Amino acid sequence: MESIQATKQRFGIIGNDPKLNRAVEKAIQVAPTDISVLVTGESGVGKESIPKIIHSLSHRKHGKYIAVNCGAIPEGTIDSELFGHEKGSFTGATATRSGYFEVADGGTIFLDEVGELPLPTQVRLLRVLENGEFLKVGSSATQKTDVRIVAATNVKMVDAIEKGKFREDLYYRLSTVEINLPPLRERQEDIHLLFRKFAADFAQKYKMPTIRLTDQATDLLLKYRWSGNIRQLRNVAEQISVLEQNREISYETLKHYLPDMGSNLPAIVNAKKAESDFSSEREILYKVLFDMKRDVNDLKKLTLELMKTGNAAKVKEEQSSLINKIYADENEAEEELASIIEEETNGAQTDVEVFSIPENSLESRKDKYEYAEEIEEEENLSLHQKELELIKKSLEKYNGKRKDAADELGISERTLYRKIKQYDL
């Protein structure tokens, strides 16, 4: 069996990271077999090297090796590209054509970005993996092929399966052995080594002295996130080699070639995009309105309880959970109740007027009958009237700034603009 170091030298793989060495080792181990392999990793980590290793070290090394970028072929023609077609099977099919699976018989096919395959093509591919059979487009004659499939993807396949974009049975057939290549940011010791290799290659290519990094620039090189991985590092090395007159690259010079230097922390991306259509925004607004109505009913219940008993201490004991629910700030609720009990202890009036509603609640303090009457009127308002009132208050609060008002209401600025036109505000 060929050694890891010899294989890396043979295929131009640079680095000594343990994860990288493990990936190369697995490729060497599976090469003599015919099992399917799935290579995973972020874009730009060099996934295309693994299928070359597997093919070159297998008994198929004298057969054809075909690399297919599944994401670059239009959905309407990918079946024809992979499996071929018969003359006249579709518009433009002026002659019978052999597909990659027919041409590569006895060899290896590398399906790059396999996660981009449309579902009908996935069904055809599954049949090839299961029994080596396929049909040309427009043909009813089954053909056999003996092809080893190595696939690669930067898509999280589990997520794609959950969303119905990739067949689970096909995933398990492709990933008999899974080889993962680590991103460049996890191979920190290899970053400067790769940069120096690229710098030397471009110096030779463009016939100019090799660029060198200062110590500070090297530190920056190692700390940068490299979201584009090896591909991005190579691109930066080439730009600097061509554009910079001074061959000693300082921290400031290197920083100029690294995008988004304001933050090297990983970006947090929501797994689920927020719904932007009108119906879901209306649901959010209605939920807020219904919550307000429930709070009003809770206040009404508490007020009537005080009117019946006239005993604030008893109400506190029996309705403490309701009081705390009405007032989100528990400390405020406690202070309010403490003041009620203190007034009752000092012989103050124990009628319902003792209980007041805080200034930051739905209503300011009012007479018990006026308050109950206004609650009854508010309950009769339509949802559209409440929606209009909320929009008006929010626009007044932010002096007509639609973006700020929309953020507070939990809707998009476009929807707020539509509402403003609808209500002629």
Residue 50 pLDDT: 97
Q: Which of 297, 292, 300, 294 is nearest to 386 (CA)?
A: 292
* Cβ-based neighbours of 373, under 8 Å, separated by 6 or more: none
Length in residues, the chain: 425
State residue 146's pLDDT score: 96
Mean pLDDT for 355-367 is: 45
Question: Rg (Cα) of the chain, in Å, rounded?
Answer: 34
CA 33/CA 28 separation, integer angstroms: 10
The whole-number pLDDT of residue 338 equals: 55
- Is 80 exceeded by the pLDDT of residue 89? yes
| Mean pLDDT on 161-171 | 96
- Answer with the residue of higher pLDDT: 330 or 132: 132
- What DSSP state is assigned to residue 183? P
First to last CA, the chain: 78
Tokens of 419: 């509402």
Predicted TM-score (pTM) of the model is: 0.62
Alpha helices in 261-311 (DSSP H): 278-309
List all residues 6 or more positions away from 149 whose beta carbon is below 8 Å from its beta carbon.
36, 108, 109, 111, 125, 128, 129, 174
Q: 240: closest CA among 264, 256, 229?
A: 256
Q: Which CATH class is domain 185-256?
A: mainly alpha
pLDDT score for 84 = 96
**109 φ, ψ to 5°?**
-115, 130
Q: What is the mean pLDDT of residues 14-34?
A: 96
pLDDT at residue number 404: 81
Phi/psi region, residue 183 (left: phi>0; alpha: psi -120 to 50; beta: rest), is beta
Compare 321 and 416 and report the one with higher pLDDT. Answer: 416
Residue extents of the structural domains in the chain: 4-182, 185-256, 296-368, 383-422
How sure is the predictor about 17, in pLDDT bands with cuts at 50, 70 and 90? Answer: very high
What is the mean predicted confidence (pLDDT) over 35-57? Answer: 96
pLDDT at 308: 67
Side-chain-facing half-sphere of 327: CA atoms under 13 Å: 19
Q: What's the pLDDT at 102?
A: 96
Tens digit of each residue's pLDDT (9 = 90 or more) over 279-328: 556 666 766 777 777 777 777 776 776 666 766 666 666 666 666 665 55
- Give the whole-angstrom CA distance, residue 411 versus residue 389: 15
Q: In which band, very low, low, confident or very high, does the pLDDT at 90 lie, cut at 50, 70 and 90?
A: confident
d(Cα 392, Cα 293) in Å, to the nearest integer?
A: 18
Q: What is the percent of the chain with per-residue pLDDT over 70, rounded to a whole number? A: 74
By mean pLDDT, which of 146-150, 247-251, 284-288, 379-383 is the weakest? 379-383
Q: Which residue has the tokens 């070290």?
A: 57
Q: Which CATH number fits domain 4-182: 3.40.50.920, 3.40.50.300, 3.40.50.150, 3.50.50.60?
A: 3.40.50.300
Q: Choose between 291 and 365: higher pLDDT.
A: 291
Distance CA 409, CA 288 (A): 9
- pLDDT given for residue 393 in this prediction: 83
Q: Residue 244: its pLDDT value, please?
A: 94
Q: How far is CA 138 from the centre of its chain?
A: 39
* Distance between CA atoms of residues 131 and 29, nearest Å: 24
What is the predicted pLDDT for the residue at 343? Answer: 53
CB 394 within 8 A of CB 408: yes
The pLDDT, as a whole number, for residue 299 is 72
DSSP string, 30-55: HTTS---EEEE--TTS-TTHHHHHHH
For residues 88 and 10, what is the distance between their CA atoms, to the nearest angstrom? 46
Q: Are 13 and 21 in contact (CB under 8 A)?
A: no
Task: Kindly state the average pLDDT of the residues 117-128.
Answer: 96
Give residue-wise pLDDT tens across range 260-291.
764 444 444 444 444 444 555 666 676 677 77
| Domain at 383-422, CATH class | mainly alpha
Of residues 355 and 403, more confidently modeled: 403
CA distances to 45, 216, 234 from 223, in Å: 18, 11, 16
